Amino acid sequence: MEQIITRFPPSPTGYLHVGGARTALFNWLYARSKNGRFVLRIEDTDIARSTKESVDAIFKALDWLGIDWDDGPFYQSERLDIYKEYIQKLIDSDNAYYCTCSPEKIKRVRESNIALGQTPKYDGTCRDKRLKKSDKAVVRFRADNFGTTIVEDIIKGNILFQNSEIDDFIIQRSDGMPMYNFAVVVDDITMGINTVLRGDDHVSNTPKQIALYRALGCLLPVYGHVPMVFGKDRTRLSKRHGAMSVTAYKDMGYMPEALINYLVRLGWSHGDDEFFLKDDLIKKFNIKNIGISPSIFDSEKLLSLNADHIKAAPLERTAICLKPFLEEKNVEITDMSYLSAIAGTLNKRSKTLLEMADGAMFYLESKVVYDKKAAEKFLKLNAYDCLSFLIDQLKQLESFTQENQEEAFKKVMDMTGLKFGKIAQPVRVALTGKTVSPGIFEIIEVLGKERVIKRLEEALLYIDSKR
């Protein structure tokens, strides 16, 4: 069986958005699930709008998602000689010709077609003139005016196009730059691409590309057009629906595993399963399970799924993902095992890594910052004795296990006659500065004996200062 070779060809005119990321993901998963190859191609022939910043952003987004490539990146801007060679092949075989019709004339012809209720298309003025190459000449493909073209789509099924609706489209501009449909076909031929998965907004381009393949005497790739992703109002996805660039989700504290999981579920299914890790997807991905109906992007579902992935991730992995968010807060992380332990107390209560970073700050501060209302309510004179007794009990512990910590609290309860909650809240504020936090024994275990005693002693000094 021929090796599957797919590709992802972004245009570097902006950041990688979720729609493009989903296209990349489907191609990558299909190649990986079939032991095939995945090619990255940068379609940068739009010189005016293509930027290195956008190229770098695409690379960073793919790297963060864990989508790697086997060949490339190839740049269309570096392949102009190849396009010229194929243009000449089409001209020599009489499948293309030079055209000197002005843009104004083309506009008049199209407007006339529309007024007559006809397809707005080029009228073929230069089709049989046998013009020579010139500075103002574009190159047009000589399209068939009769018959039909059938797109055999592995997702949508067969799609029929009337060739009479396709005009002699331009394949090279007068400045020598190739047009999209032509460059794509030449790239896919020369890179051995045999499977093209893309959004169904490209369906209308497919008959033109098939015509070019046939004119060049090359085998067609397998086509599959993936349904579009809409917002909740069933209009095309945009920022107002919460759909932003991949790097924006990264900066908001989403796990790459969660975004991949969510994107693949926009149009693909595996029974009733909702939660997937990347290795699961590679094993289970089947192109036949891509649906034909548009998907709805729901930012709330993505957030919920992100929380699930934070809960499920190994703590070492969570710590690695969390570290940059803490560094953004000017917190230097030198002990990753400590950070992993911190993450273990916050992973079940954090929807994003950004939220987790906020929740982790009290663990990492050299001095606890007390919330004013919390300190006024719980770090009062009546808490002094129980905190002092607890310090004495904790200092005596040779082994700082949770069982021994609980025993120390019980002794303080016996000594003071106070219930656990009356002791725990002053301790919580002393250790975290807040009234809401992970479980008190979780905090104590992570902070360790030295930090806990130091913070309790600082709380005593604070209470003393308020006498």
Q: Which active-site residues does the annotation give?
A: 239
Nearest to 72 by CA among 54, 59, 87, 90: 59
Q: How far apart are CA 167 and CA 181, in angstroms?
A: 13
**Tokens linked to 381:** 């004179």
DSSP secondary structure string, 417-460?
Answer: ---HHHHHHHHHHHHHSSS--S-HHHHHHHHHHHHHHHHHHHHH
Strand partners, 141: 96
**Tokens linked to 6:** 């797919």
Burial category of 359 from C-beta neighbours within 10 Å (exposed 0-12, middle 13-18, buried 19 and up) = buried
Alpha helices in 93-191 (DSSP H): 103-115, 180-190
**Tokens linked to 307:** 């929380």
C-beta of residue 97 within 8 angstroms of C-beta of residue 132: no
Q: How far is CA 105 from the centre of its chain?
A: 44
C-beta of residue 341 within 8 angstroms of C-beta of residue 315: yes
The CA angle 405-407-412, to the nearest 5 degrees, is 100
**Tokens linked to 95:** 């499948």
**Tokens linked to 327:** 């560094």
C-beta of residue 467 within 8 angstroms of C-beta of residue 381: yes
C-beta of residue 350 within 8 angstroms of C-beta of residue 319: no
Q: How far apart are CA 178 and CA 170, in angstroms?
A: 9
Task: Provide the 3-class DSSP secondary structure of residue 296.
Answer: strand
